[in-house]
DNA sequence: AAACTGACTAATA
DNA sequence: CTATTAGCCAGTT
């Protein structure tokens, strides 16, 4: 099974980037991976969030795939909840469930 | 140590 | 935009 996120590992960097996403913004898995120093570790980002406990204070719902859509997990209701959280932050979700990355994509500031 | 798994992305059609 | 194929990294077994 998945290791606890409290366990020191490569995921630590990923969690740090996710926490950096400001309110009302979203970031792609690849973006988080790149910021964490793993330009090809997009899958690891998803895997890290998969192991993330519900009591985590990380804004995991601000992490979407490269199309701005919410990736569906084994438990389908999680994706639905994620969309609600994003809408609550003022994001407009398209009919296909994609956010407007042109507008909401987070760009880390220098 | 090797194989399997997976909230992904890029390339191609 | 979608569908399919291949490559990638780290964790689990």
- pLDDT per residue as tens digits for the range A6-32: 566 889 999 999 999 999 999 999 999
Q: What is the pTM of this model?
A: 0.91
Between the CA of residue A79 and those of A35, A40, A82, A96, what are the distances in Å? Answer: 24, 23, 5, 13
Name the residue with the least CA to C1' distance from nucleotide C8.
A40
Per-residue pLDDT tens over the stretch A73-89 = 877 788 899 999 999 99
Q: Is A90 left (phi over 0), alpha (psi -120 to 50) or beta?
A: left
Instruction: Say yes or no: Cβ of A79 under 7 A from any atom of strand B.
Output: yes
A63: confidence class by pLDDT, cuts 50, 70, 90: very high
Cβ of A103 near strand B (distance < 7 A): no
């Amino acid at each position: 099974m998945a290791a606890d996120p409290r366990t020191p590992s490569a995921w630590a960097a990923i969690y740090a980037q996710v926490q950096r996403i400001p309110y009302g913004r979203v970031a792609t898995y690849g973006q988080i991976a790149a910021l964490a120093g793993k330009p090809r570790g997009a899958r690891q980002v998803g895997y890290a969030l998969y192991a993330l406990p519900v009591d985590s204070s990380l804004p995991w719902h601000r992490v979407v795939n490269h199309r701005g859509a919410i990736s569906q997990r084994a438990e389908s209701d999680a994706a639905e909840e994620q969309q609600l959280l994003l809408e609550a932050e003022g994001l407009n979700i398209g009919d296909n469930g994609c956010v407007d990355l042109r507008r909401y994509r987070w760009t880390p500031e220098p």
